[in-house]
Structure 1
Amino acid sequence: MIKKLIANGYGKEQKYNCAEKILYGANEAYSLGLDKETLKLAAGFGGGMGIESTCGALTASVMALSKLFVENTAHESKIREITSEFLNRYKEEMKSIECAPLKKEYRTTLKGCDDVIIKAAEILDEIVVREKRD
């Protein structure tokens, strides 16, 4: 699903940032039905919202989860539990959800932040598969 897309270089040619790779990739992998104007909402979340705060791959993953599992409002869904699980799992495996420490630990000149984004995609895929099955 999205992990395979990202691992195969999805978004590199378009020069998508981390958030764009996840949201555009999720749109394709999960058939979210988001149009180009809506997808542009992810642009400002790259690089931890430009200040190396919460990683854009994670904020975009939360956007995708919301699109998939919120029918009307957050309070009428279990999105809080799903996003909490997603972020906690990511933090457990990668030791942070913040852009600055993730870049310091995982970013390379050759691969950029691919490992950070691929891990987000992997956990996102697992949760989406499970939730759609239940």
Structure 2
Amino acid sequence: MDIMDSSNGLRAVRAGSATGAGLAGWQADTGRTVELVRKIPVTYWCPQGHETTPVFAELAEAEIPKTWDCPRCGRTACRERGAKADRPGEEPFKSHLEYAKERRTPQEAERVLQDALERLRRNRG
């Protein structure tokens, strides 16, 4: 909730604030300053060549993750282009289509496709 300051009709201050000076007033009142955290971008590449660059607070090299999940394909991305980083104990990435192909023979898949196309054509007219 903002209340108009009587000294200046165009300047608003937050209700309950000691000064209308904002951050500069806060710094003057407390004697503290804002310390900004330095940020560093780190680039990762997945096996399909997608590039991802998350931004981290400045950390020691050992604290920056060696791998990152690719937001485009879900595979594990590494900090070196072309490197593979399969996580131990994890099944390799499979797309939805790959899982569907495991469940159906090519003949079953063709039949399901034809049924779906027939329903679409019937509903259109």
Larger Rg, first or second structure (1 or 2): 2
Shorter-chain TM band: under 0.3
Bigger relative contact order, structure 1 or 2, given CA contacts below 8 A and separation 6+?
Answer: 1
TM-score (norm 1): 0.19
Larger % of helix: which? 1
Normalising by structure 2, report the TM-score. Answer: 0.20
